[in-house]
Amino acid sequence: MKKRFYNENEAEKYVKHGSMEVPQQQTTVQLQECIELFTTMETLEEENPWYCPVCKKHQLATKKLDLWFLPEVLIIHLKRFSYTKFTREKLDSIVDFPLRELDFSGCLLRKSQSNGEPPSRYDLIAVSNHYGGLRDGHYTSYARNKDNGQWYYFDDSKVTYAREDQIVTNAAYVLFYQRQDKIRKPTLPAPNTSPASSSQPANDITSCKDDDITPCKEDDAELGAAAAASSSYVTMETD
Ligand SMILES: [Zn+2]
């Protein structure tokens, strides 16, 4: 059986390519670098030329994206699914993004003219995560409660407290930032998230406690999680 599928002589003849020597390591890029790349001038590929109405023929044109004004809520979609003519892959690089003070002032084409201009800084309010490959996967999310400032992790019907140092991972897929002038100061104290303070397993806050002050129904928790994670268990069709 082995001989049918494995030819030892053939296997010995292989040439080791230099690229195999390099250990596969997790790459980290800064979000700011991605934004700079996004606004860098690029020349369109030969397969994607631009039809010039003056020359009446296709030309290799250049393209440049610039920002004119900044929105209240900035949604950054990290392109983790890479398609070329030859390959299709999911990119697992860690994109290191700030939870506070994401500064977009350097990307604005229009320079600020009056003092009444809104700020160009953003704070993170939510992250949508994608786990899995090209064909299917699972979505979860991190979101910050605007009233108490606490971060939560939503995974289907399970909602748990999250720490700020857990939010940047290579699963981050869509980032939601809010402009600083639109962010309200938390009006409620942050909940006590230490596991010792609760008899509940870990920090699962979807479980109901008998002495819980706030009414909590399974349905409510489920609904909240589903809304925040915006459709869990989505099958991604890539064909
Ligand atoms: Zn032309």
Q: What is the pLDDT of residues 159-212, one digit of tens each?
A: 999 999 999 999 999 999 999 999 988 899 988 877 554 444 445 666 544 444
Across 43-56, average pLDDT: 88
User: What per-residue confidence (pLDDT) applies to 71?
Assistant: 92
Report how far ligand 1's centroid is from the alpha carbon of 207 (Å). 66
The answer on pLDDT for 42 being more than 60 is yes
Mean pLDDT of the chain: 78
Tokens read off for 189: 């104290």
Distance of CA 63 from the midpoint of ligand 1 (Å): 15
pLDDT for 21 equals: 62
Q: What is the pTM of this model?
A: 0.68
Set 17, 58, 77, 130: catalytic member: 130
Distance CA 36, CA 132 (A): 28
Domains identified in the chain and CATH numbers? 69-229 (3.90.70.10)
Is 130 marked active-site? yes
Q: How far is CA 125 from the centre of its chain?
A: 12
- Position 225 pLDDT exceeds 60: no
Report CA(47)–ligand 1 centroid distance (Å): 17
State yes or no: pLDDT of 104 exceeds 70: yes
- Contact between residue 146 and residue 205 where contact means Cβ atoms under 8 Å apart: no
Alpha helix ranges (H) inside 1-139? 2-5, 8-12, 31-38
